[in-house]
Amino acid sequence: MSNGIFTLPIPKNEPISQYGANTEEREALQAQLKDYRSEVIDIPMYIDGKDVRTDNFGESRCPHDHQHLLAKFHKATTQNIHDAIDTALAARKKWAALPWENRAAVFLRAAELITTTYRYKINAATMLTQSKNAFQAEIDSVCEFADFLRFNVKYMEEIYTEQPPENSPGCWNRVEYRGLEGFVLAITPFNFTAIAGNLPSCAAMMGNVVVWKPSDTQVYSAKVIIDIFKEAGLPDGVINVVYGVDQEISDIAGTHPELAGVHFTGSTNVFRSFYKLIGDNISTYKSYPRIVGETGGKDFIVAHPSFDDIDALSTALVRGSFEFQGQKCSAASRAYIPKSLWPQLKAKMGEQLATIKVGPTEDFSNFVNAVIDKRAFDKISGFIDKAKASDEAEIIFGGSYDDSKGYFIDPTVVLCSNPHFTTMVDEIFGPVLSVYVYEDDQFEETLKLVDTSTQYALTGSIMSKCRYGVQTALEALEHSAGNFYINDKCTGAVVGQQPFGGSRASGTNDKAGSKANLQRWVSTRTIKEVLVPATEYTYPFLG
């Protein structure tokens, strides 16, 4: 029995390990990388607290060394999906009834395990299976993942403490926050281990049960997430994991009468298919499913003519575009540069790009690594080929690619004379930045172009030393980016500081890393208790 009003620790962002040369942390991480490289592991599904195998295998390989097999994972059958749903539903009542502080303790313990016992394991898994360099893996799989868990349980506490401020004489009003009736389906992407861990866990901590389908190209680090949750004491059946299914998960889980919600990060088209599927089957469900999605982006950086800090502008473009090979939903993919700044900026970018090394993650001197798989490689290189063949575009840096060893694509900058050229408007999700140079006196017209030339609205940045320029951009681009940056690159949202999400074709803007997202995973019940019930039906004026 709980007889206390409990207050959770105040969360702080996890400090980032730097992995500098000759440090103990680098040696420990390198040893873990070597250990993971030394064997091919078997990755079962996880249903009802048990390992489930089918012997229908998918493969997990290093994108930067695609001949190297890291693991074989077991693909789900349709029966496995049904079992995962049934198990979740069977676990729901007991998990939802568990006092909230016990649920919080599970995920606080998970955060501690991530940053201690599992720090090098989850970092190395992310480096190998998603081809992130040590710094990018650290800020993702360790720091952001732990931040999600620590801040989310604090948001949970804040939600539960929100109660009606008024009570009529003789009444006590209160609100309880229940988990959703049914199960939540979590669909997660390859690019962030933290997102893969956050989507199922934030729903679970609010008293929900989850069926989780990770990306096939992230299964290796997903296994580490499950290991962490198991060691943290997550009860059996609360989060169940199936691999290797796409259409099947839609057909079965997406149309199940007990579907209570979908928590999704991935492509715009896939999310739209889920939205349509739910709409087409709306009479099937016990309750209207909550639909939360973060999808595609075509993120921008706009330079105002006043921004003559060329070093800062070039750094924002290079880091914003080419960190993790441009495979961030927030990555800078299009830039609008005033004509007066372009010659200096072009020269500076050339200097910076000439120093960037491309190669495997195990070589810590490589800034850029491989894109995730053959499908991504072909798509991105196809855009580069279109630019090479067009008279509306010119590749001024990069443009080379090679998949003989790994899926390597050099950081590529495309100068476009047509602001509607395909690389300026279509999502590429790779290390390709398109630049449009505008006349200095056309700043406001260019902002209209930024706002209307794509369907997305995820992140964006204005670089300006003029406050009028900043304000003009804020007003003109009000709905163009859910995360807007001033004098910075358009990537790097930090949990507890910049809640993340966008609208239009970029998602439902429910802001991962905020209380707003967690509120989507509860159903409130208002309770009015009359302390002394009325005994007369008449009104005073009738007397």
Active-site residue set: 294, 329
Q: Using H for helix, E for strand and C for coil, what is the string for 23-51?
A: CHHHHHHHHHHHHHHCCCEEECEEECCEE
Spell out the residues 6+ positions from residue 294 whose beta carbon is closer than 8 angstroms to its own: 264, 265, 329, 458, 500, 501, 502, 506, 507, 508, 510, 512
**Is residue 154 a contact partner of residue 10, using CB atoms and an 8 Å limit?**
yes
C-alpha separations of 208 from 45, 75, 183 in Å? 20, 25, 7
Which residue type is seen at 445? E
Q: How far apart are CA 178 and CA 181, in angstroms?
A: 8
Asked if residues 262 and 185 have their Cβ atoms less than 8 Å apart, the reply is: yes
Alpha carbon distance 435, 334 (integer Å)? 6
Query: Measured between alpha carbons, how far is residue 481 from residues 13, 209, 301, 458, 501 in Å?
Result: 24, 32, 11, 5, 9
> What count of other Cβ atoms lies within 10 Å of the Cβ of residue 519?
17
Query: What type of residue is 475?
Result: E
b (16+ CB within 10 A) / e for 234-246: bbbbbbbbbbbbe
CB atoms under 10 Å from CB of 413, counted, come to: 25
Distance in angstroms (rounded) separating the CA atoms of residues 184 and 17: 34
Token pair for 455: 């369907």
Instruction: Say if residues 228 and 122 touch (Cβ distance below 8 Å).
Output: yes
In 3-state terms the chain splits into helix, strand, coil percentages (rounded to 5) of: 40, 20, 40
The H-or-E segment that residue 462 falls in is strand 459-463
Helical ranges in 323-397 per DSSP H: 342-354, 374-389
What is the distance, to the nearest Å, from the Cα of residue 330 to the centroid of all Cα atoms in its chain? 10
Cβ proximity of 144 and 171 under 8 Å: no
445 within 8 A of 431, measured Cβ to Cβ: no
